[in-house]
Amino acid sequence: MQRVQISFLYRNSLRDTTSVRHKGRTSFSEQSLTRVIQPFLVSFFEEANNAHYNSIAIIDADGADLGLYRKSHIPDGPGYQEKFYFNPGDTGFKVFKTKFATIAVAICWDQWFPEAARALVLQGAEILFYPTAIGSEPQDGGLDSRDHWRRVMQGHAGANVVPVVTSNRIGKEIIETEHGKSEITFYGNSFIAGPTGEIVATANDKEEAVLVAQFDLDKIKWKRHSWGVFRDRRPDLYKVLLTSDGSNSPL
């Protein structure tokens, strides 16, 4: 049985971006940290020449820099005008072979797209990680998207027969724009879902928490293969997904 020991934080949890990556390398202080906590995933605001990305660095248990992923889907809505800050990521969807498991990471808004989850598991991801910073909607004080948010990722877990781990921040943030001030209350509720979408560990919306779960990846792999959701795929019928409006197949 493979026992996974991987730690990660919520989206953009590291504020001092210069300490994360310099000329493509991970800082010594971060490598020292991983010797204590095993593979480490940390999300940050990355400056790369004239571009800016919402990125996450993946550091293995021995301190090796496995590379990074840059957020692909950039939202643009009230309180979440991220197109002002970030360029769309150019890394594509990637998997990382750590000491304990082959993992994949997608960031925040990426988690709402089933195509991303499927692409990652197709490449061999055994666990999906989603660092997040999501909360209330400034334009609609009565809208609570928490349950919708959770169910979407539970669906990724069940549809791909793979564990999903997501972290989300708590607290409030005041946003000032030319239109005035608005407030976002982040609803936390970080959770870990098993390979059928079941919740195996969860936090609340008030307190910081450390969630721990253990998975037998060999058994999950057998279940994924035997269930047939990858065996019975029909890629020849999915060409419409390569279009923006579904009206014309590009191939």
3-state secondary structure the chain: CCCCCCEECCCCCECCHHHCEECCEECHHHHHHHHHHCCEEEEEEEEECCEEEEEEEEECCCCCEEEEEECCCCCEECCEEHHHCCCCCCCCCCEEECCCCEEEECCHHHHHCHHHHHHHHHCCCCEEEEEECCECECCECCCCCHHHHHHHHHHHHHHHCCCEEEEECEEEEEEEECCEEEEEEEECCCEEECCCCCEEEECCCCCCCCCCCCCCHHHHHHHHHHHCCCCCCCHHHCHHHHCCCCCCCCC
pLDDT at residue 179, as a whole number: 65
Q: Which residues pair with 167 in a beta bridge?
A: 131
Task: Identify the pLDDT of residue 33.
Answer: 46
pLDDT, one tens digit for every residue, the chain (251 residues): 444 466 665 545 544 444 444 444 444 344 444 444 567 888 899 999 999 999 999 999 888 999 999 999 999 988 788 999 999 999 999 999 999 999 999 999 999 999 999 999 999 999 999 999 999 888 787 889 999 999 999 999 999 999 999 999 999 988 776 767 778 899 999 999 999 999 999 999 999 999 999 999 999 999 999 999 999 999 999 999 999 999 865 55
Report the alpha-carbon distance of residue 182 to residue 23 in Å, rounded: 37
Nearest to 151 by CA among 137, 138, 166, 140: 166
Pairing state of beta strands 80-81 and 65-70? unpaired
Partnered with residue 67 across adjacent β-strands are 58
Q: What is the value of pTM for the model shown?
A: 0.87
C-alpha distances in Å from residue 197, one per residue of 27, 160, 189: 36, 9, 16
- Sequence ranges of the domains in the chain: 7-242
Sequence-separated (6 or more) residues with CB below 8 Å from residue 120: 93, 95, 104, 106, 128
DSSP bridge partners of 193:
164, 199
Q: What's 7-242's CATH class?
A: alpha beta
